[in-house]
Structure 1
Amino acid sequence: MGSCPPPPGANGIQPSGSIRLTGCTAAEREALSLLLGRRVTTATAMIRLADLDSRLRDTAADCGLAAVVDQLGLPLTDRRAAWDTGRQEQAALWTAAEAAIAASALAGQDWVGGWLDDLRRTGALGRLVPQEATGLLHQAIRVLGLLRSDRGEEAAPYGRGELATRVTGTAHGLDDDTVLSRLVLRGLARATAGEPPENAPGRRALWCAAAVVPDEVSSTVPTYGLRPVGRGWRERALRERADHHAETHLTLRELNVVPSSDTLVHICENPRVVEAAAEARCGGALVCTSGSASTVVLELLDTLAAAGLRLRYHGDFDWPGIALANRVIRRYSALPWQMVAEDYEQLAAHAQDQGSPGLPLVGTPLEASWDADLAAVMTALNVALHEESALDRLIADLAPGAP
């Protein structure tokens, strides 16, 4: 009787448990009977894998179940071996990190051990393949070494893009949405006995404290009608633009210009609403998220909310729009602005009367935190209504401006 070699790594693969086959045809029952050495008479068959393995070894094939499955080209995973390999790779990752720290400007700094322990405990690198995790951790060590070394009081601050280019080869290597940025910020927080920042202002403050200058001019937030208090030239310029019914794109440098606390600020999702408000010479104040609400948008809204301004929000009537609305309304305790189920029904009826082609909703339905009926109504009508469909209603709702 011939024999076949075990599949690679099969030592830890042992057949156990059972499988249940249903709907077996007469021909399949006959084949199972021959395979198992016992008669299978029903359409449902329970097969113990250990018995099947023993049966295969006793036949002419002289192969166990694992070898047969491997010969059929089906993948087998030795979970115990994979777990052992993973443990070894993780151990090698942290050993290499400790060696890199010992050879860097971070050597001897008390907070570094706690930083590594935090990363291990929280699994910050757990979803990355070992090679990628090792590379990112070594880049984080290099960045922190540059920032925490004694560069002298006269040293110029780093630009974040320049620092990223120096370490990663790309100016976007330390952007807020990167793993590397999160690793570095955890290290900076640990070095200063603080907590990792949870929002954009906290991240900016921590970068600045480490003498890293964030990019403050490339991202902007479209606004209209903001009339900040104060006598500075920025405040005067914004009031003048509001007087002339002109929109303004604010950068991160300009977010400290705040209107009086009794101002009602409307928030929209689409820049077309800002444009239409300027064309109609509206008198209300408006901030646009331009879709998903970038860092500069959230920082402006954070500033306005902290100053006690009242906020109202309108966005798209589709599932991504509801997700963004939930985010903004919850974060700022904002009121919905023509965003309840009745508004949706009226807009849908108006679009149908105009003969507009219906755009079906796509994605997973979401409950609206401000209206328990909205999701059900949207699901029933199944039409996506973007903010432009409500443009006339929104502009009419803003306070009229001067001629």
Structure 2
Amino acid sequence: MDEPAPTPYAPPATGSVTVYRGATLIDGTENAPRPRTTVVVDGETITRVGPDEQVETPEGAQVVDLAGRFVVPGLIDSHQHLATPPNRPVAEAALRRQLYSGITAIRDMADDLRQVGDLARATRVGEIAGPDIHYAALMAGPGFFDDPRTWQVSQGETPGQVPWMQAIDESTDLPLAVAMARGTHATAIKVYADLPGHTVAAIVAEARRQGIMVWAHAAVFPASPAEVVAAGVDAVSHVTLLAQQTADEPLSSYKTKPVLDLDRLARDGDPRLDALYATMREHGTILDATAGMWLWLADQAEDTEGKERALANDRLSAKLTGDAFRAGVPISTGTDYETEPSQPLPALHSELAYLVKRCGIPAADVIRSATAIGAASLGAADVMGTVEAGKLADFVVLAADPIADIDNLGRVVCTVKRGRRFDRAEYEGAPA
């Protein structure tokens, strides 16, 4: 029998104890930062967190002195695409950079799950270095499946007719469709486009019955944002799509979005949006804002018209994200793009800075968005998102205080993922 693949990045075994002493801990809860704090890790699990003077070092434990350092929970990017189209070397390089930059989990928002599923397995068991991956299987109306991206992620098969990318209409056997999506080992179903509100609600009801989450675009066309939220989805993506709630005409399809007065909305907001935020708060609907995406798209634009359109959406994005936060909507930190591989830090760090500097969200709340709320968006708040006993040992050691300056989240000393330490110096010293 062949030997299994090597797992150089596997979590340490239970009984392998490391004690991290002396850091200022920002634990991902609403607690104030805690100076001179010790975190005890056994294998891949945190077993104790407390003041340095109250935590004894177990016999035989390795001790890591973190005096002058800051510790935050592992960061979570709640909107990534690793395989549109599939490219294994590019994906592995992106995952490695994410991990060494403090990201310990990501949400992949529908891709070719044949590859993503294997990447998720490989990062989980330690064959490759990367965050834990939670991913979605997509459902949309039949009209969506002439989108070229659907062909990129269904190569060799027919888009809309595979378990990870299903076309849904009134004749669909929803219990079977949801079961097929679950069979991909997906964390959630992603509801994308060209579905009416009653169908979105039916998908959510069946997903609840079968125990799988539902993530959705904030407007599904013809389903409005209010209908999507009322259906009970766990999270919605893309804050600018919330603006479709203000359309003066019924939504029709993903390809024929109503024209909105973006400048007015970016300047004044709208009472219809205020009502939507209140409903989201009541439902606990997480907003995967992807707030800084439009600024990146403006930089990518090939003509003046495209750049101006992206910048108008950028102003809207900053306004709506800040308003949603102040209305009490839980916000996670997704990107939906990635910086060039030559850049030292992945896109999530730009998103975190954007939320503070453009949306007016305090740094402490942005850290919670990137950790505790991110974990909730994955359905994994019971095991990650905060630095507490019983949780996975997923945290980041920083050289400076990220509450004083959010850019300090990029000053990574090391990432601890499932108890294994990844020193940033190892990544920066790697050959290009």
Higher RCO, Cα 8 Å, sep 6+: 2
Indicate whether the TM-score tops 0.5: no
Give the alignment's TM-score, normalised by structure 1: 0.23
Structure of higher CA gyration radius? 1
- Greater share of helix: 1
